[in-house]
Structure 1
Amino acid sequence: MRVPRPRKIVVLVSLVVTLVLLCCGGSVTALLLGNLSNDEQSSLNAAMGCGKGGAIDPDSKLPKVRPYGATQIRNAAVIINVGEQLQMPPRAWVIAVATAMQESRLVNLGHLGARNDHDSQGLFQQRPSSGWGTPAQVRDPVYASTKFYNKLKTVDGWETMPLTRAAQAVQISAYPDAYAKHEPIATQIVNMLADGAASAAGSSLTMVCAASGQIAASGWTIPLRAGVGSGFRSPERPNHQGVDLSVDKYTPIAAVASGVVSLVKCDEDFRGRKTCNVDGYPGKGGCGWMVEIIHAGNVMTRYCHMVQRPFVKENQQVAAGDVIGRVGSSGNSSGPHLHFEVHLNYDRSSAGAIDPVRFMRQQGAALGGEG
């Protein structure tokens, strides 16, 4: 299956680094721009510092993603372009951008004296003394990105690893858990610069993969294949904080993204009983056997009504696609189904509950096979 290609303007942004002499004229430039619209040509000229008026402020020509400036976003574009040229899938672009966000804040670091981590330099703080290349090479964004991707290729199973594990396997950082917090913004940057390559909207690859239970470029997947039944906060159920996915009892339930299990319990019913090893009924109350997982960006997902004690424990790290339990009908339930919730800025209340259908579609992992 062909890897989604970033839009024309962004595919060529990396020429800022290697082909500046082609700017504003020349047969090669004309060839490259020949099939672009007038607006795309103007935008590309601006990104390359060209145009009828000479140098143009780059801050107004590339997407802005706080807290990063135009130069940092341009460096992210180079990282994405290199990944595409190496035929790495969009998931690799997200991992690479997130890694550079942690290592350098997407700034191409030179030698900083005592402020350097040993002799680390460049977007990925690669160390010449550790064999990454010469100082000049590791400060070349194209070279540094290529070295990162080539090392990532050697990591068995990186495609389904939590982002922080994949990045750590390449970088061998002293702070192995630091990468995860950058995943949401890295995904946003890839989507903005590459026509939504990290989500279903811009990539048939991620849509097919998520629908088949594989991992989308964003690092998310579906909990199981089932149609969406009772919806989020519907007029009939205004306090329904998630969606119900109706499927056969004992169907495996997958963690939808990497994270840490924060809660495993048999939820009490309205009478204070913990009776989760039997089928429930409408009006009984409680989630039955349930699991909560905290993901990067303080996103929490909740899984309810399992048939038996879940397969995971609190504080256990899980990866996207790991089986955490099986579908049942425990608690407040009229039949076998998974009740699935998504909460933002999680504080153990329902204040941050959002529509899982909309959220999962944005991650490239649409529930129920819907687009």
Structure 2
Amino acid sequence: MSGAAEPIARAYAKRWLWRAVAPAAVPLFAGLTLLLIPLAVIAAPETRTAAASSACSIGGTGATVAGIELDAVQMGQAQTIVNVALAQGLEPYAATVALATAYQESRIRMLANDGSSSELTAEQAAVTATSLEYAHDGLGSDHDSVNTFQQRWIAGWGTVAQLMDPVYAAAAFYDRLVDVPNWRTIPLTQAAQAVQISAAGGAYARWEPLARELAGMLWPAAQGAAANPAGAASGVCPDLPVPAGSWIRPTAGSVTSGYGLRWGTLHAGVDIAGPRDSPVYAAAGGTVIAAACTSAYCDRDGGLGLAGYGNLVELDHGSGVTTRYGHLSAYTVSAGQHVDAGTLVGFQGSTGNSTGVHLHFEVRQDGAPLDPVPWLADRGVDLDAPDPG
């Protein structure tokens, strides 16, 4: 691989391109396939309506494309692939080749690899299995292949950490694609095979109709997102109808980590894990104190080596009470804005100091953190209750 992919990915990190809002023409559908996140179970608040389900997202709402049903996870990864093509100055056909490739290789999902392939040495297996430390949409076990394109670190595509970054993965694909002679004019399957060197090189042609339609669908969103500030997004989920003065569950999911000491330091809130890009709502009415990236970067998933909340929204509810909503994939509000309980403020993600998709939710009184579970319980909201619907 040439040296172009990594600097392109770094430049791309200055913009929020891989979490673009899907075009309004993309239809919602009820049967949303959930992410394979351990312990993540959808749990909706009692006040949630059908229209405000986890099918709402920014990564891409579910759609039927060329007769194939794609869920929000797949559409989100597809949008990333299209956005990177635009960021590199390529045309929609480049995205078409990449999308056909990604569908063949992973069904357009960010796959980790548990290193169980018998083709790997113990050392190679251990390195490959580190992919599990990064946000992913499922598991694979083909050699040392990871991510949407099933790129191999042993084959020189990059480190496991780099390959588990969807932006880097797409940039690396395009970096090799543009080196293929006449890639714009040779059959799509030949262009894809020249990049992938797959054992089933002719298989990419099958997905060309899907890829062409998908690229055409997502290209306008990529163009619109290029002008957005990092982290900011327009909402495609309706606000929840909540009585004034009420407190509500801020998002769907189950509590996977509680308040208290964790690894010797205070975990100042609770983690609520649900599907990627599940809508996050204001737990009560108030004013937005901050809506910003609080880490070195927020255009892609973070990790344990990254400090900060990632994309963070903080609300002031009066009387010294504030709430924080961390690790968002994007936020939909701005500082100084008044919000009601149930106002959409962002979407579940894994930005900042995070290793999986969830909402980190805090309640503070005069700046001091409190346990959100009893706080909300005193206000009629049971975070530990099973899914009511």
Structure 1 or 2: larger strand share? 2
Same fold (TM over 0.5): no
**TM-score, normalised by the number of residues in structure 2:** 0.37
Structure number with the bigger relative contact order (C-alpha 8 A, sep ≥ 6) is 2
Give the structure with the higher percent helix: 1
**Which structure has the larger Rg over C-alpha atoms?**
1
